[in-house]
């Protein structure tokens, strides 16, 4: 176990590398998800408030 | 409305792809990390630090790949005026910037034990830094206009102009004699890497790619929703 | 061609009448270069060692700063849309404006460079190559910069944004420009670097006006 | 230059600004000697339509034709046959009235013809006594007259005027009406937008308020 | 005082909402600093020797570039004349805008400086003093720069002109800023230099807003 | 705040713009509850006179007095009692309608009063349903209404309006007339310039076309 965590004396470089990668990737994932949730819920709320728009949109599509 | 290829179709397709890409990302990451951290030997020269490779190299590939992806999307947007292409380009930029950043930081962390310095001004390192600036410039430009479509179009021209940099980064190591290693995996013909290291490397590369696809879907969905919100707002202002 | 000359002439006349851009660019160049001895200290051998680099970096900055207004004034007062509506391809209009820009800013930079080189104690062997490299490099800067200037039209915070877009694209000119001068100073051949600079210029000559014209069309929509 | 049988027409035009559809399925046709007046409330798309006709804006759908040939096929030819007067004055503050006008004239026709035409234009819009004044000293109405002067400084059959009478006083409006009437009598075409009344022979009205601007995104869902 | 806070709050809000100026200033700072190793070459000992000078010169340039828009946007959209017509002395308005400018540009520069110092291989002993010197110097830059920004309002070619006015005034900050860091790097006391910088800041604090207000009045005439 | 016995007057005013005398020896007087309408052809000096009354322009000769006290003696007090609406809209594209208005309201009165007044102003100019939209989405007419909203968002006796009805549709013009009438009925003053007709009680006309702009040099000789 010490072999893996210790990384042959290079733990101070290897683990931060993986750590930074994880932080950036998770950060991207979380911000993207949050943004999407926010926008989609806002859109749903707006559609709720303006149900007529939906009808009009469908009519416009035909 | 032929120009406005139906985003609804995209959303349906994305809905199908999303669980697969997300699931694959998790599975590939698990396998890649296991092999990379436990199941592969240390390098006879570089020792355990070689394990940094499994995040450093895939993120470098992704940095270049995402930019190429953006340039293609931009060309599509400019030539065929496909609105989804603009959205894809815009949604890709922050992800590409993220990967490029990871490549730089992990490279620096690798450089300290290997070369004895965090940073050196050699061709590949600096051209990667420039790539990061190209991403940042693209993000800034796209958001610098009051009218989002204007920003998208300007961004498309910039992405194409900046694409010149990608081959320079890719081949800088071959053209100039530098500290950094030349390509050994992606070189034409047989890769010059031990399969025990090649397997986790390729697994991580695939994992990063599916991760990118997942993020792209989320971000495009978000962007499309934002467009629609703006549209509804606009109707409120001007009375649809 | 007649129209090309006409546009160059107008831009030159405008530059001359309104507080002459060239004087300001040169002054910025001189002032900023002069700041460095204050910052770095007066040691001759260090200054000499970094002189080519400083000259080129500041030349990039000067060129970039003046680019800010390349299309801006014409865009704001509506001249640009009329220029786009003349019976001339927009790329030609861009090329004419770039030529005028280079004549009023690039050329003065070239003239000022040797003087500043003396100030920074550059080895006199480098002067000839410095001039040639600048003559090949500054038009490339104007050309590449025109793309950025066209892109930021109508953007908020155009000035700073422009630097973010243009500086990364300037890097090759910087590398080979410095390389040529340094080689000459150290007594090597600098032909290879100058050839590359020429090649970059030749490539930018048709591509940049075309890309700028595309960007301008977007801005005028 | 002016052909008594030209026809300028739009077929099924749709226009997108920002992300909104300003109008769609719009048709119009203007023949030599005819005038078309665009009316409609603020934001109904008059300016957008004029820019589209000039070729500054690409129609999202439909096409413009001149004597049966699509305009989009030859931008430069279309630019040569139209004059566009928009909201911006395109006046350089440091050039004199005459220089301002002469530049545009020379871009459209050759030097000698330009000289004569500029003098005529200055006369027609009462600018002779201002000819040597720099643009920056003009009042709003004088600027507009100078901008309208381009119409006469180089001949072109199709005039596209966006609210040409804003900032003009009564006497100047009369003058402009006379100039337009003479252009029409010589087989020209005039398309203009206005909020006020303009007195023009052979004028037809095109009301734009039928199209409620609508966001495109809604259509696509 | 309430009005002062109100204006600072508005400017901060504007800066945050519109594509964040700070990000761009920092990026310009980083980009330009990164250009120097390209120009000077990668040798560690030379880079280390010139690092303080380069950091300060580029910080001056970054601050100056962002000043371009300090009053410009408010001037162009008419807000500035309304601000001049509030029951607050114009000097207070200027001071509020300068504070907001420093918070959005000077502060991020201070944060970015140590990172760049690492890139330029600066000796770690200098970091603390670099931070203190920047904290004392950047507000002075914003204050002095506001005078230049006010003076060039309405002038065309604002950007380059501004640099001419402002850069010479920046020299004292540069000299003492570099001096402080260099002293620290070489293991000397840098208290003297820091005291002088503090004194300059104290002097600029009342004088600069007053001078800028006078310049603004001219611009609004 | 509004005093039924205030008097605002100008005595022997002369105005110089760009080396030309726009008008001279101009007198006017407005009492509480009165309106003054400035008329005259383009360039006759209406805008100049309004800026002069607001204190943005210093008269070359003569003086402005409020209740017998020269206005120039206390700029801030004068700023507190007048609202100026010029050609520019002073609207920040990234702030919402409410935020835009609230900022100006808070600069003129305290926070609580401002809150109430902003709501009133939004109501009076039909902006309630737009209150949370960013300024950039507004059409020209809506922008103008927002700009006029400042009149009600903070109370001030003297309103200076430069062509207030441009870009307004008929309904909005009626609304503005009602707002002005009520202001006059409460003892306020309105001074406005216009090219079109405005329906106002107690309005007197001041025609400015009597003064032909003339180079000053002639006078001085
Ligand atoms: C900040 C510093 C660094 C940066 C910006 C950087 C950048 C890159 C880039 C862009 C690639 C992709 C190459 C391609 O696809 O052809 C790459 C690959 C690679 N890097 Fe780095 N690198 C850095 C530091 C290092 C260090 C210190 C080492 C090891 C001593 C290293 C070892 C490698 C290896 C082995 C590859 C794979 C090459 C291949 O097989 O294709 N890098 N790096
Ligand atoms: N540059 C632009 N970007 C995005 N949308 C725009 C742009 N210019 C105009 N619009 C929108 O397009 C619509 C049509 O505008 P246009 O200027 O054509 O109207 P108009 O009829 O000329 O109005 P006006 O009477 O005010 O001149 C408006 O709703 C406006 O908000
Ligand atoms: N900033 C300026 N600098 C110099 N001269 C100016 C300036 N602004 C206006 N003028 C001149 O002052 C005179 C009066 O201009 P002013 O704008 O007051 O006229 P106006 O009556 O408001 O005209 P309009 O009906 O066009 O609004 C004009 O002759 C103009 O040329
Ligand atoms: Mg219009
Ligand atoms: Mg006026």
Nearest to D18 among B8, B147, B235 (CB): B147
B143 lines ligand 1 (CB under 6 A): no
Full-model pTM: 0.81
Model confidence at E121, pLDDT cuts 50, 70, 90, reads confident
Q: Chains that contact E by 3+ CB pairs under 8 Å? A: B, C, F
Asked if B157 is an interface residue toward chain C (Cβ–Cβ < 8 A), one would say: yes
Model confidence at B174, pLDDT cuts 50, 70, 90, reads low
Tokens representing D130 are 């201002």
Q: Is the pLDDT of residue C157 over 70?
A: no
Ligand 3: which atom is nearest the Cα of residue D141?
Answer: 26
Percent of chain E scored above 70 by pLDDT? 93
Tell me what pLDDT residue B123 has.
72
Domain boundaries, chain B: 40-184+196-239
Lowest mean pLDDT among B129-133, B175-179, D61-65, E204-208: B175-179
Backbone Cα Rg of chain D:
18
Q: Are F134 and F93 in contact (CB under 8 A)?
A: yes
Tell me what pLDDT residue F213 has.
46
Round to the nearest angstrom and report the end-to-end CA distance of chain B.
Answer: 18
Q: Which of B50, B61, B107, B167, when mutated, tests ligand 1's pocket best, judged by the most ligand atoms within 8 Å of its CB?
A: B107
Tell me what pLDDT residue B177 has.
54
Separation CA F154–CA F145 (nearest Å): 15
Q: Are F173 and F165 in contact (CB under 8 A)?
A: yes
Q: Which residue of chain E comes nearest to B142, CA vs CA?
A: E19
Separation CA C110–CA C29 (nearest Å): 11
Q: Is the pLDDT of residue E97 over 90?
A: yes
Instruction: Please give the residue that has the higher pLDDT: either E147 or F87.
Output: E147
Scanning the structure block, which residue is given the tokens 């004419």? C96
Asked if F42 is an interface residue toward chain B (Cβ–Cβ < 8 A), one would say: no
Tokens representing F137 are 């989405």
Q: Cβ–Cβ contacts within 10 Å for residue E31, how many?
A: 23
B114 lines ligand 1 (CB under 6 A): yes
Tokens representing C4 are 């090309």
Separation CA B174–CA E54 (nearest Å): 31
Q: Are C55 and E193 in contact (CB under 8 A)?
A: no
The three-class DSSP label of residue F169 is coil
Model confidence at F10, pLDDT cuts 50, 70, 90, reads very high
Separation CA D176–CA D199 (nearest Å): 10
Indicate yes or no: CB of D107 within 8 angstroms of CB of C3: yes
Lowest mean pLDDT among B64-73, E45-54, E162-171, F178-187: E162-171
Q: Are B144 and E19 in contact (CB under 8 A)?
A: yes
Q: Are D127 and D15 in contact (CB under 8 A)?
A: no
The 3-state secondary structure of chain A, one letter per residue: CHHHHHHHHCHHHHHHHHHHHHHHHHHHHHHHHHHHHHHHHHHHHHHHHCHHHHHHHHHHHC
Minimal CA separation from B166 to chain A, in Å: 22
- Paired strand residues for C100: none
- Could you tell me which of F164, F190, F154 has the C-alpha nearest to residue F30? F190
The three-class DSSP label of residue D95 is coil
Question: What are C179-189's pLDDT values in tens digits?
Answer: 888 888 888 88
At residue D205, what are phi and psi to the nearest 5 degrees?
-100, 140
Residues constituting chain E: 221
Tell me what pLDDT residue C21 has.
63
Nearest to B231 among D19, D43, D60 (CB): D19
Distances (CA, A) of D16 to B143, D47, D73: 20, 12, 21
Tell me what pLDDT residue D213 has.
47
Percent of chain B scored above 70 by pLDDT? 82
User: Is residue C62 left, alpha or beta, with left meaning phi > 0 and alpha meaning psi from -120 to 50?
Assistant: alpha
Tell me what pLDDT residue E50 has.
85
Lowest mean pLDDT among C138-142, D52-56, D57-61, E4-8: D57-61
Nearest to F141 among D42, D136, D142 (CB): D42
Give the list of residues 6+ apart from residue A12 with CB closer than 8 angstroms, or none. Answer: none
Q: Is the pLDDT of residue C3 over 70?
A: yes
Q: Output b/e per residue, F60-91; b: 16+ Cβ within 10 A.
A: bebebbbeeeebeeebeebbbbbbbbbebbbb
F140 lines ligand 2 (CB under 6 A): yes
Indicate yes or no: CB of B118 within 8 angstroms of CB of E44: no
Distances (CA, A) of F14 to C53, E219, F31, F40, F47: 58, 20, 21, 17, 14
User: Is residue E86 left, alpha or beta, with left meaning phi > 0 and alpha meaning psi from -120 to 50?
Assistant: beta
B168 lines ligand 1 (CB under 6 A): no
Question: What are C20-77's pLDDT values in tens digits?
Answer: 566 777 878 888 888 888 878 778 888 888 888 889 998 998 888 888 778 888 888 8
Q: Is the pLDDT of residue B203 over 70?
A: yes
Please provide the average confidence, as pLDDT, over all residues in chain B.
Answer: 82
Q: Cβ–Cβ contacts within 10 Å for residue D29, how many?
A: 13
Distances (CA, A) of E77 to A62, E95, F87, F93: 43, 20, 9, 10
Tell me what pLDDT residue F185 has.
92
The mean per-residue pLDDT over the stretch C101-121 comes to: 88
Nearest to F139 among D43, D136, D141 (CB): D43
Please provide the average confidence, as pLDDT, over all residues in chain D.
Answer: 84
Backbone Cα Rg of chain F:
18
Domain boundaries, chain C: 2-220
Model confidence at B240, pLDDT cuts 50, 70, 90, reads very low
Q: Are B119 and E34 in contact (CB under 8 A)?
A: no
At residue B189, what are phi and psi to the nearest 5 degrees?
95, -155
The three-class DSSP label of residue B151 is helix
Scanning the structure block, which residue is given the tokens 């790949």? B65
| CB-count exposure of residue A50 (10 Å: 0-12, 13-18, 19+) | middle
Minimal CA separation from D43 to chain F, in Å: 7
Q: What is the DSSP string of C48-109?
A: HHHHHHHHHHHHHHHHHHHHTTTTHHHHHTTHHHHHHTSSS-HHHHHHHHHHHHIIIIIHHH
Q: Are F24 and F211 in contact (CB under 8 A)?
A: yes
At residue F133, what are phi and psi to the nearest 5 degrees?
-90, 145
- Could you tell me which of B46, B36, B41, B59 has the C-alpha nearest to residue B106? B59
Q: Is the pLDDT of residue B5 over 60?
A: no
Q: Is the pLDDT of residue C149 over 80?
A: yes
Tokens representing C91 are 């790329």
Backbone Cα Rg of chain B:
20
The mean per-residue pLDDT over the stretch E188-213 comes to: 90
Question: What are C163-215's pLDDT values in tens digits?
Answer: 888 888 888 888 888 888 888 888 888 888 899 899 989 999 998 999 999 89
- Write out chain D residues lying below 8 Å of F167, CB-based: 42
Lowest mean pLDDT among D165-169, E209-213, F118-122, F180-184: D165-169
Nearest to D106 among C6, C79, C85 (CB): C6
Tell me what pLDDT residue F221 has.
38
Indicate yes or no: CB of A10 within 8 angstroms of CB of B38: no
Separation CA B98–CA B135 (nearest Å): 9
Tell me what pLDDT residue A51 has.
60
Q: Are B144 and F94 in contact (CB under 8 A)?
A: no
> Could you tell me the distance, in angstroms and rounded to a whole number, from the CA of residue D22 to the centre of ligand 2?
8
Q: Are C105 and C62 in contact (CB under 8 A)?
A: yes
> Could you tell me the distance, in angstroms and rounded to a whole number, from the CA of residue D48 to the centre of ligand 2?
6
Please provide the average confidence, as pLDDT, over all residues in chain E.
Answer: 84
Q: Is the pLDDT of residue B70 over 90?
A: yes
Tell me what pLDDT residue E26 has.
82
Asked if B143 is an interface residue toward chain E (Cβ–Cβ < 8 A), one would say: yes
Instruction: Please give the residue that has the higher pLDDT: either F64 or B118.
Output: F64
Q: Which residue of chain B comes nearest to D24, CA vs CA?
A: B1
Separation CA F167–CA F144 (nearest Å): 7
> Could you tell me the distance, in angstroms and rounded to a whole number, from the CA of residue B179 to the centre of ligand 1?
10
Question: What are D105-144's pLDDT values in tens digits?
Answer: 988 877 778 888 899 899 888 888 888 888 877 877 788 8
Tell me what pLDDT residue F147 has.
92
Nearest C-alpha to atom 11 of ligand 2 is from which residue? D17
Q: Is the pLDDT of residue D19 over 80?
A: no
Tell me what pLDDT residue A61 has.
37
Q: Is the pLDDT of residue B99 over 90?
A: yes
Nearest C-alpha to atom 25 of ligand 2 is from which residue? D42
Ligand 3: which atom is nearest the Cα of residue F48?
Answer: 18
The enclosing H or E element of B230 equals helix B195-238
Q: Where are the alpha helices (DSSP H) in E152-190?
A: 158-185
User: ipTM of the predicted structure?
Assistant: 0.78
Q: Is the pLDDT of residue C104 over 70?
A: yes
The mean per-residue pLDDT over the stretch F79-85 comes to: 90
Percent of chain C scored above 90 by pLDDT? 25
Question: What are F23-52's pLDDT values in tens digits?
Answer: 888 899 999 999 999 988 777 888 889 999
Tell me what pLDDT residue A47 has.
80
Tell me what pLDDT residue B191 has.
53
B205 lines ligand 1 (CB under 6 A): no
- Paired strand residues for D134: D96
Domain boundaries, chain A: 2-61
The mean per-residue pLDDT over the stretch D49-67 comes to: 90
Q: Is the pLDDT of residue D42 over 50?
A: yes
Q: Is the pLDDT of residue D88 over 60?
A: yes
Question: What are D180-196's pLDDT values in tens digits?
Answer: 999 999 999 999 988 77
Percent of chain D scored above 90 by pLDDT? 29
Separation CA B49–CA B115 (nearest Å): 12
Separation CA D31–CA D9 (nearest Å): 8
Model confidence at B51, pLDDT cuts 50, 70, 90, reads confident
| CB-count exposure of residue A16 (10 Å: 0-12, 13-18, 19+) | middle
Model confidence at A52, pLDDT cuts 50, 70, 90, reads low
Tell me what pLDDT residue B92 has.
94
Separation CA D146–CA D103 (nearest Å): 12
Tell me what pLDDT residue D218 has.
40
Q: Is the pLDDT of residue B75 over 70?
A: yes
The mean per-residue pLDDT over the stretch E132-155 comes to: 86
D46 lines ligand 2 (CB under 6 A): yes
């Amino acid at each position: 176990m010490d072999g893996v965590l210790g990384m042959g004396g290079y733990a101070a470089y290897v683990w931060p590398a993986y750590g930074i990668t994880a932080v950036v990737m998770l950060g991207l994932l979380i911000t993207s998800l949050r943004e999407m949730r926010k926008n989609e819920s806002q859109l749903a709320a707006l559609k709720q408030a303006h149900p007529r728009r939906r009808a009009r949109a469908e009519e416009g599509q035909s | 409305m032929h120009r406005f290829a139906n985003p609804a179709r995209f959303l349906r397709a994305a809905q199908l792809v999303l669980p697969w890409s997300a699931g694959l990302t998790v599975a590939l990451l698990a396998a890649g990390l296991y092999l990379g951290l436990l199941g592969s030997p240390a390098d006879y020269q570089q020792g355990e630090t070689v394990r940094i490779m499994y995040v450093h190299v895939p993120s470098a590939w992704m940095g270049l790949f995402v930019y190429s992806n953006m340039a293609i999307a931009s060309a599509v947007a400019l030539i065929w005026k496909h609105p989804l292409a603009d959205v894809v380009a815009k949604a890709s930029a922050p992800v590409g910037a993220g990967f490029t950043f990871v490549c730089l930081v992990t490279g620096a962390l690798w450089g300290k034990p290997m070369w004895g310095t965090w940073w050196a001004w050699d061709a590949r390192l600096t051209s990667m830094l420039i790539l990061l600036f190209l991403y940042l410039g693209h993000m800034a430009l796209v958001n610098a206009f009051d009218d989002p479509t204007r920003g998208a179009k300007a961004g498309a021209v910039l992405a194409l102009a900046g694409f010149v940099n990608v081959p320079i980064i890719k081949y800088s190591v071959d053209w100039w004699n530098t500290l950094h290693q030349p390509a050994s995996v992606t070189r034409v013909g047989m890769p010059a890497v031990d399969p025990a290291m090649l397997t986790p490397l390729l697994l991580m590369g695939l994992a990063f790619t599916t991760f990118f696809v997942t993020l792209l879907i989320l971000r495009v969905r978000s962007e499309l929703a934002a467009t629609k919100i703006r549209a509804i707002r606009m109707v409120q202002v001007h009375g649809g | 061609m007649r129209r090309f000359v006409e546009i160059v002439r107008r831009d030159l006349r405008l530059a001359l009448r309104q507080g002459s851009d060239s004087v300001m660019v040169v002054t910025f160049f001189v002032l900023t270069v002069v700041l460095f001895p204050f910052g770095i200290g007066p040691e001759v051998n260090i200054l000499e060692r970094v002189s080519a680099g400083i000259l080129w970096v500041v030349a990039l900055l000067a060129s970039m700063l003046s680019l800010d207004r390349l299309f801006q004034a014409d865009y704001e007062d509506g001249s640009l849309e009329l220029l786009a509506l003349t019976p001339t391809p927009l790329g030609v209009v861009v090329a004419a404006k770039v030529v005028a820009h280079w004549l009023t800013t690039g050329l003065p930079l070239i003239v000022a460079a040797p003087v500043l080189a003396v100030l920074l104690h550059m080895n006199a062997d480098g002067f000839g190559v410095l001039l040639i490299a600048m003559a090949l490099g500054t038009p490339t800067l104007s050309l590449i910069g025109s793309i950025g200037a066209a892109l930021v039209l109508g953007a908020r915070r155009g000035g700073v944004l422009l630097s973010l877009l243009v500086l990364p694209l300037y890097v090759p000119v910087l590398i080979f420009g410095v390389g040529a001068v340094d080689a000459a100073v150290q007594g090597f051949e600098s032909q290879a670097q100058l050839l590359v600079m020429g090649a970059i210029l030749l490539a930018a000559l048709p591509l940049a006006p075309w890309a700028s014209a595309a960007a301008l069309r977007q801005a005028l929509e | 230059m002016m052909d008594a049988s030209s026809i300028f027409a739009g077929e099924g035009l749709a226009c997108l600004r920002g992300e909104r559809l300003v109008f769609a399925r719009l048709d119009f046709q203007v023949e030599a000697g005819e005038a078309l007046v665009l009316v409609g409330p603020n934001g109904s798309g008059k300016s957008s339509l004029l820019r589209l006709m000039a070729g500054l804006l690409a129609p999202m759908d439909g096409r413009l034709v001149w004597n049966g040939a699509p305009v989009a096929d030859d931008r430069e030819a279309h630019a040569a046959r139209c004059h566009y007067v928009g909201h911006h004055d395109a006046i350089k503050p440091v050039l004199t009235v005459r220089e301002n006008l002469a530049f545009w004239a020379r871009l459209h026709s050759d030097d000698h013809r330009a000289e004569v035409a500029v003098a005529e234009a200055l006369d027609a819009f009462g600018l002779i006594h201002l000819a040597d004044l720099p643009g920056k000293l003009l009042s709003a109405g004088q600027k507009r007259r100078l901008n309208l002067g381009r119409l006469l400084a180089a001949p072109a059959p199709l005039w596209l005027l966006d609210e040409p009478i804003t900032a003009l006083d009564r006497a100047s409006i009369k003058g402009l009406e006379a100039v337009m009437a003479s252009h029409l009598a010589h087989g020209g075409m005039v398309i203009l937008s206005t909020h006020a009344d303009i007195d023009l022979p052979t004028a037809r009205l095109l009301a734009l308020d039928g199209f409620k601007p609508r966001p495109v995104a809604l259509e696509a869902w």
